[in-house]
Amino acid sequence: MNALELNGLCKRWPGFSLEDVTLALPAGCILGLVGENGAGKTTTIKLILNMLRADGGSATVLGQDAAALDKNDVGVVLDEAGLPQGLNPGQIGRIMSGIFRNWDAACYARYLDRFELPHGKPYKAFSRGMKMKLAIAIALSHNARLLVLDEPTGGLDPVVRDEIVELFSEFTRDADRAVLISSHIVSDLEKLCDYIAFLHKGRLVLFEEKDALLERYGLLRCDASALDAIDPGAVVGRRDSAYGAEAIVRRGAAPAGLALSPVGLEELFIFMTKGAR
Amino acid sequence: MKGLLQKEFYQLWGWWLVSLGIFLAVSTLSGTSFYAVFAILMAGMLPGSMLSQDEQCRWDSYAGALPVSRAQLVAAKYLIALILIGTAWLLACVTQAIRLGLFTREWVLYVTFSLGVGLLCPSLLLPILFKFGSTKGRVAYLIGLGALFGVVAALSVSAEDGMAFLGYLQAHAALFPLVSAALFAVSWRLSVAFYQRREL
């Protein structure tokens, strides 16, 4: 079963449109949504959560149409955590117990302790990292089956980020659960994700299993004239400098015998974005 | 719904009770009803201020991702308005009874007028805020209020007319809270309709 299915999802505003986003996230898996600022990641997430009305296509979440989704089953972390400034984590926990049907107060208290968040300190006095940790604690404390996370690791230091990434990974050990995560920190997604969706200027440039994606492309370092001799259709993106050229190349379309290095997700993302420009 | 109301209470209940206590004490000690009416008026304006705060901290977006309907989000603001206005009004009725005497003409006028005024404020303000958001909504509200006062001023051609209108209001004071209550109900329905269409 797919935890999430998007079919031809569209949203249009003057000056920006998200067009024809089609992807599926199987249960038990993690999908990373990658894209530059303004690529449409947050718009996609808001359409999934029925916070925006789609202009076309459909979103099915946990087998339900997004418009009729039971959000008790979805844990959400938004880019701006969005919690009331003057309240403390203890009060926020009591509010959430009146909102979520399956709220687990003991689990929430454990996460507060694990993240070293003071129960009585007002939210407005928290750092951005602490605010995100609190939002993550809420998302993980009501037995959600799907986590929808918009830049959840932004503002966290590398050690905490690593811990959080591990938490999300643990979450999907139960095969009924899934995670959709958008992030600029591509290294986190590379560690965590089973699938990658790459958005660029409102278009879904690719959606693929991460391992297959990384196997399909290779990094070529050579001089510019050697790169010019390769079929342009095989080159996804290139970077020229005084010392030579670098390019991401489709392994299947590249001439045999080329020495291609393994490519990382971050390099792929940067080259593709620049190539698309 | 319980969680949404709890949030409103946590954010303003303590502060509100202290303010209310001060206004009612000043009203009783100074021998004027103004501060007591003002406390009720303020109670009616607080849900609008809470909406602005929600937008500032992005609670409005976050709440859109929680298992609560748009109608419940609107209901929380109207219910908290009723609770705040009701508390202020009941306490003001008691303090004004001490000052004016129970069931005197002045007391009955006060009781009906203050309830009507209290309910009128959120009835006018909240649909505009739910439709346009707090920043544009406040501007639209002020323009609307200015236009209303302009019309009233244009119609009041003389001081006699003004006094006659005041006399008319006094004679029909009992109707004022009923009209306000009806407006409150219409306003609630409108706000739900506006907020259902709003993109978060």
The tokens describing B192, both together, are 């739900």
The tokens describing A26, both together, are 């199987």
Q: What is the pLDDT of residues B57-80, one digit of tens each?
A: 999 999 999 999 999 999 999 999
Please give the residue that has the higher pLDDT: either A253 or A144: A144
Say if the Cβ atoms of A76 and B66 lie within 8 Å: yes
Say if the Cβ atoms of B7 and A51 lie within 8 Å: no
Q: Which parts of A36-115 are beta strand (E)?
A: 56-61, 64-65, 74-77
Chain A positions touching B76 (Cβ under 8 A) are none
- pLDDT tops 60 at residue A118: yes
Interface test with A, best of B2, B4, B5, B6 (most A CBs within 10 A): B6
Lowest mean pLDDT among A142-146, A175-179, A270-274, B46-50: A270-274
Say if the Cβ atoms of A82 and B62 lie within 8 Å: yes
pTM confidence score: 0.87
Lowest mean pLDDT among A133-142, A250-259, B163-172: B163-172
- The DSSP string of B71-131 is HHHHHHHHHHHHHHHHHHHHHHHHHHHHHH-TT-HHHHHHHHHHHHHHHHHHHHHHHHHHH
pLDDT for position B156: 64
pLDDT for position A275: 66
Q: What is the pLDDT of residues A203-222, one digit of tens each?
A: 998 899 999 988 888 888 88
The CB density around residue A134, as the number of other CB atoms within 10 Å, is 24
Q: What is the pLDDT of residues B110-124, one digit of tens each?
A: 888 889 889 998 999
pLDDT tier at A180, thresholds 50, 70, 90: very high
pLDDT above 90 as % of chain B:
39
Closest chain A residue to B64, measured at CA:
A51
- pLDDT tops 60 at residue A235: yes
pLDDT tier at B158, thresholds 50, 70, 90: low
- pLDDT tops 70 at residue A276: no
- Residue A80 DSSP label: S
Q: Taking Cα atoms as reference points, which of A129, A128, A192, A183 lies closest to residue A151?
A: A183
Segment B90-102 shows an average pLDDT of: 84
User: Dihedrals φ, ψ of A30, to 5°?
Assistant: -120, 130
C-alpha–C-alpha distance, residues A9 and A26, integer Å: 18
Segment A230-259 shows an average pLDDT of: 84
Say if the Cβ atoms of A80 and B58 lie within 8 Å: yes
> Which of B4, B10, B200 comes nearest A87 by C-beta?
B10
Task: Output the average pLDDT for chain B.
Answer: 86
- Cα dihedral A120→A123→A127→A131 (10° resolution): 110
Task: Output the average pLDDT for chain A.
Answer: 90
Those residues whose C-beta lies under 8 Å from the C-beta of residue A16, and which sit 6 or more positions away, are: A38, A40, A43, A202
Please give the residue that has the higher pLDDT: either A60 or B109: A60
Chain B positions touching A85 (Cβ under 8 A) are 53, 56-57
Please give the residue that has the higher pLDDT: either A75 or B145: A75
> Which of B3, B56, B63 comes nearest A98 by C-beta?
B3
Say if the Cβ atoms of A70 and B200 lie within 8 Å: no
Chain A positions touching B58 (Cβ under 8 A) are 78, 80-82
- pLDDT tops 70 at residue A202: yes
Contact by Cβ (8 Å): B87, B12: no
Please give the residue that has the higher pLDDT: either A59 or B33: A59
Segment A101-117 shows an average pLDDT of: 95
Closest chain A residue to B7, measured at CA:
A95
Q: What is the pLDDT of residues A132-179, one digit of tens each?
A: 999 999 999 999 999 999 998 877 888 888 888 888 988 988 889 999
pLDDT for position A136: 94
C-alpha–C-alpha distance, residues B132 and A68, integer Å: 25
Say if the Cβ atoms of B59 and A53 lie within 8 Å: no
